[in-house]
Structure 1
C-alpha cells in the first residue's frame, strides 16, 4: 500500500483509501469475501449472543444439528452436506473454513449482523489462542462510538484508529459514518487483520486500512479519534482476545489509555469501552484513571454502560473478591490549541 504524506507533520503516514481492493486478500480470504457476499444475497442475519447463552441454546436436544444457514454460520452447529448448495460448499472449501465432524461438517467461522453489515469472525466456542471474538460487547462498543459521533463534529475527523480491532467493528463504524476520514485498524493478531480486511471490503469501506501494530507503536502521527474495546478479563489460558492482564484484567485498558493520550490531535478524543471488576463497592479502574488523566490538557467523562456483564466469571478463583463486572465507557478529549 502506498502512503500519502501531507505537509502537516501530525498526519504523517496517512493511508491511501483508494487502494483497498481484493488484491490485498489471500486466496482463502477472497473466497471468504465471496461467501459473505453470497450470505448477504440470501438475506442471512444473526445477532451474536454471549458464550453462556450460546451454550445453553445449543445444548437443547432439537439444536444438535443445523437446519438452516443461521444454524451453520451463526450457531456453529454441525450440518449435513445436503444443507448447502454446491457453490457455497465450494467457497467454504476454498476459504479453508470447513471442518469434518464424523459424517457432518462445521464452519470454522461465524457471520454476525452489525447494523446493515455482515462481519466474519471466529466460530463458537472461541477456544483457540488466536480466536477473534464478537458478541454483545461489540454491540455496546458500537453504541459508545455512535454516541460520541452524535455529540461531535464528525466531518472534522480526518484520521482515526481502532486499537485491538478484532474483526474490525469499531473501525468500520467510524469508516462508514465518516467517509472523509482515513481509518486505521490495528491488531497484533494476523487472523483478526484478515477478517477486518474481508469485512471492510464486504461493507464497501474503502477508507479503512488494517495493519499490524502493538497498540500504536507501529503507526505514526496523531489521530482525531482513537477507539478501543480491549479484552478485560483474567483468563487462565491468557488467550489474547480475553486476557486483559494486570490487576483484575485492567492492565491492557490502562496501557491503551497511556498510549492514546500522547497521540490525540488537538480536539481529538479517545473512546474506550472496557470492563471493570468492582470490589467493596468501589471502582479501582476509575481510581487509576483519575491519577492518569487529571492535570492533563484534556476533558474527560466516565460512565457505566451496563452494571453487570459476564457474571459467570465470578465463579472463577481470580474473582473471589469481586462483586460484579461492569461495562464502562471513557471519553477523553484533548483541548484544542488556544
Structure 2
C-alpha cells in the first residue's frame, strides 16, 4: 500500500474505535466553536471528544505510546511544541460518523462539516421520503465529507451513487466515511461539477460553498459578488443532465439585498421552461450573521439558507 492508503486505513481504524466507544459529537458553527475554544483556553483535552471534536491540544499521556506513534505516522495527530493536536475532526450525524477537517478550517483544501451538513441531510431525507421512483444513478456535486452521498446510498441500496469533488482530500475522506458506514454502492471521482462525468442522473444533489470569501478557499468561496456564482453554475449544468422524473436538490445560501433574493431572480429564467417543475423555500432566514461585517457584504441585510428542488417532467 502507498503511504496515503496506509494513512487512510489508520483513519478508518480510528473511526471504528470511536464507534465502538460510542463517540458522539455534534459540530457547531465556527463562531460557536471559537467561543467554546476561548472558554477552554489553556485547558488540555481530557477525552476523545475534546481531541477529535473540540480540537483541543493534548499531552502524550492521553494515548498509549504505540498508539500515539501510529496516529502520528498516519498524519492524524501532529506535534505542537510539547503538546499534540488532531488534524481531523469526527462528527456524528444520523447514526453515521464523519471524518472532516480540524478546527479552525484555515487550510485551502479543508473539508467543511457543520450545521449546514445537518440541514442538508434532513433536506435529502425529506426528498427521498416524498419520492419513491427508482434511483439508478445519483450524483453528489462537491461531496465534501460525503454527507449527501452517504445519506442516499444508505437509503437506496440499488442506486449507483457517485460523489465528485475538485478537492482530493474531500474524496479521500468521503471514501473513508463510506467504508466506515458499510456502504458499498458509492464511488468517488475527481470532477469540476459535472465536467468529468457522463450521462443522465435520476437525482443530483449539491451543498456548494456560498460565502464571499476573501481568501478564496474552495470549501467556502461561492464566487460572484455575494457567493452565488457556483450555485447558479450548478443549476445551469445540472438541469440538462436530469433523466425524465429526475430531480436536482440544491441546498445553498443567499445574501439578501434590500428585501430581494438575487439568487432566485437569477435562477428563474433557467426554470421558465415547461420541461421542469420546481419549488423554492427558505430553510433558515438568518445564518452566519457575523459575515455581514466583512468587506463585500455592505449591501446585504441577511444571509439565508434555501432549498431549490427542480424535477424534469416525464
Partner in structure 1 of residue 299 of structure 2: 321
Q: Secondary structure of the equivalent of 1:317?
A: coil
Rate the CA distance shift 1:87–1:145 in 2: closer, same or farther, 3 A: farther
1:96 partnered with 2:67: no
Q: Distance in 2 between matches of 1:143 and 1:261?
A: 22
Given candidates 253, 256, 265, the residue that maps to 1:275 is: 253
Rate the CA distance shift 1:316–1:160 in 2: closer, same or farther, 3 A: same
Q: Distance in 1 between matches of 2:192 and 2:145?
A: 16
CA deviation map 1:125-164 (0-9, x unaligned): 000000000000000000110111111015x011101000
Q: Distance in 2 between matches of 1:63 and 1:300?
A: 51
Given candidates 14, 22, 25, the residue that maps to 1:43 is: 22
Partner in structure 1 of residue 64 of structure 2: 85
Rate the CA distance shift 1:296–1:89 in 2: closer, same or farther, 3 A: farther
Rate the CA distance shift 1:62–1:243 in 2: closer, same or farther, 3 A: closer
1:105 partnered with 2:84: yes
Query: Is 1:57–1:63's contact at 8 Å kept on the other side of the alignment?
Result: no
Q: Distance in 1 between matches of 2:272 and 2:65?
A: 60
Structure 1 runs (4+) deviating above 4 angstroms are none
Rate the CA distance shift 1:308–1:64 in 2: closer, same or farther, 3 A: same
Q: Distance in 2 between matches of 1:88 and 1:294?
A: 58
Given candidates 153, 158, 162, the residue that maps to 2:140 is: 162
Which blocks of at least 5 consecutive residues in structure 2 are unaligned? none
Q: How does 1:110-189 map to 2 (within 5 A)?
A: 110-153=89-132, 156-189=134-167
Rate the CA distance shift 1:88–1:144 in 2: closer, same or farther, 3 A: farther
Q: Secondary structure of the equivalent of 1:272?
A: strand
Q: Distance in 2 between matches of 1:108 and 1:272?
A: 30
Query: Is 1:308–1:325's contact at 8 Å kept on the other side of the alignment?
Result: yes
Q: Distance in 2 between matches of 1:112 and 1:88?
A: 21
1:64 partnered with 2:50: no
Q: Secondary structure of the equivalent of 1:277?
A: strand
Which blocks of at least 5 consecutive residues in structure 1 are unaligned? 1-21
CA deviation map 1:92-129 (0-9, x unaligned): 12321221112110000000001111100000000000
Query: Is 2:56–2:85's contact at 8 Å kept on the other side of the alignment?
Result: yes
* TM-score, structure 1 as length reference: 0.90
Partner in structure 2 of residue 309 of structure 1: 287
* TM-score, structure 2 as length reference: 0.97
Q: Secondary structure of the equivalent of 1:255?
A: helix
Q: Secondary structure of the equivalent of 2:226?
A: helix
Query: Is 1:228–1:273's contact at 8 Å kept on the other side of the alignment?
Result: yes
Rate the CA distance shift 1:303–1:87 in 2: closer, same or farther, 3 A: farther
- Aligned length, in residue pairs: 314
Partner in structure 2 of residue 245 of structure 1: 223
Q: Secondary structure of the equivalent of 2:296?
A: helix
Shift of 1:62: 6.3
Query: Is 1:189–1:212's contact at 8 Å kept on the other side of the alignment?
Result: yes
Rate the CA distance shift 1:63–1:152 in 2: closer, same or farther, 3 A: farther
Q: Secondary structure of the equivalent of 1:300?
A: strand
Rate the CA distance shift 1:135–1:63 in 2: closer, same or farther, 3 A: farther
CA deviation map 1:19-51 (0-9, x unaligned): xxx99x711101111111111111111000000
